[in-house]
Structure 1
Amino acid sequence: MLTKLEKYRFQAFVAAAFFVCDAGAQAVVSEVRAPSESSIPAGPRGVAIQEGRQLMNETRQRLPKNVGNGLNCSNCHLAGGATAYASPWVGIWGVFPEYRARSGKLISLQERINDCFERSMNGKPLPYTSTEMTNILAYMQWLSTGVPTGVSVTGRGFGAIDQKLKADANHGKQVYADKCASCHGADGSGMKGGEHGYTFPPLWGADSFNDGAGMARTYTAAAFVKHNMPLGQGGTLTDQEAVDVSEFFTHQPRPVYPGKSHDWPLGDKPKDARS
């Protein structure tokens, strides 16, 4: 009889073996490219795609029961999920189910979406069979048009950052003041863009992501910052500046995610994961 930990490890081994064996046959798409607007079909599917896009861009307004802060999905998934190294959704349809170390198992795309609702949005998951979930999936499927199943596009995720760098929060505080505060506020509270959301999202405080979100990890946030910030000037910060400023803002007060105690059940918890 396998113990619970042995069972987890066996599942992880099988999953890892599957993806290693499959990886050799995978091609790589050279760039993240959203399909043309003209390719959105008429009829119910086209309506679902359009509705899904609106949900991603106006999440707080359209899903107030599921969003517990002031964020929209597109605050991190820039340009509606069509920007390389800003966790694009282009191609995401064909790579799930996928093994996720944080969960210690294979997860579906619906589970991954709800992970974001519970962590990045500090909210509640969507029912898998809800109209909203169906529309979000329709939008992601459309964004993945032309990307073969099983292909992971170049630019997926947040990109690379030198994780051997030692983070200096004091220097990061200065980088924040120089490079970030004009948009995100000296107190990290963001810049509101009207009644229903922010032009520039809050980086800490009650309206920001909770400490179970990937963006609450220093090196994950640093990769995003390095490639995308300041907005429109991605790539202008050094790795050290990105790491330092991320160490500063990720460790400011923010909502607590109780479920993070169950993360990485197989071990190998990243050094920047919150506890």
Structure 2
Amino acid sequence: MRFAEVIGDPIAHSKSPLIHDFWIRALGLRAEYRAVHVKAADLADYFRSRRLDSEWAGCNVTMPHKEAVLAHVDEADELAARLNAANTIVRRPDGLLVAGNTDVDGVAEPLSRHRIGDYPDHVATYVQIIGAGGAARAAVLGAVKAGYGDFDIFNRSPARADVLAQLAGSPFGKGHPLESLGPVRNPTDGASEQRYSHILINATSMGMHGENPVPVDLSAYYPDTIVFDMVYSPLETSLLAQAVAHGLRTIDGLEMLIGQAAIAFERFFGAAPPRDRDPELRQLLLREAK
């Protein structure tokens, strides 16, 4: 029976098996999707054994292995190479392993659906990304794919933020210390004349498990702001709760998780998942989270 897996250390928190099993059942496929706890020291043995198994379609990769797995594959697609991180490994029929990264599309898809429209005196939309690791790199390229071009990167290490800002390819992109996070303003800004819009993306583990919240006051952001938290445990982080309290639009980690999983599913099993059943899948994930 054809099967795929998700690997990580730890792995018990992963929602990928629920998502993929839902789609497998919905399509009536003869396939399985499993979660496997793989430690860093065991990666080589894991891929060596899976490479020899013709029923193994591949695996998703979660923390902390997204960079390390590149040493165990034969090829990396353009995105995985550019990000120096992979979240999807596919086994080709000849046994070669190809690394890919679907996190970029996981960011781009919800950003494309939750658009900020133009209005009089609208100058630009600033994408403010918190973090400078692999998830932040995917957030930058995902936002670029969704059509955005102005970036500010906030991180505890401004030097790392500067490096990530260069990836955006924008002359306006630059790094900032985390404590300076806040909305971009013109001196002539007013409540009824918005000039800058904002998309705020948390691409760190801050807020995970309800701990270490993102240090930002959202009360000064305009109502058209979109707050996107890539953390999905808990689903409503303190950042998203604050955004809702101020009437801002939100994108939670489940939207990204389902979007990137859909691409991996098609690569593993050769069938497009039934995205028309996303509301049902989301309710399943919410029930399991309680």
Question: TM bucket by the smaller chain?
Answer: under 0.3
TM-score normalised per structure 1 = 0.27
**Higher Rg:** 2
Question: Which structure has more strand as a fraction of its residues?
Answer: 2
Larger relative contact order (Cα-Cα within 8 Å, sequence gap ≥ 6): 1
TM-score normalised per structure 2 = 0.26
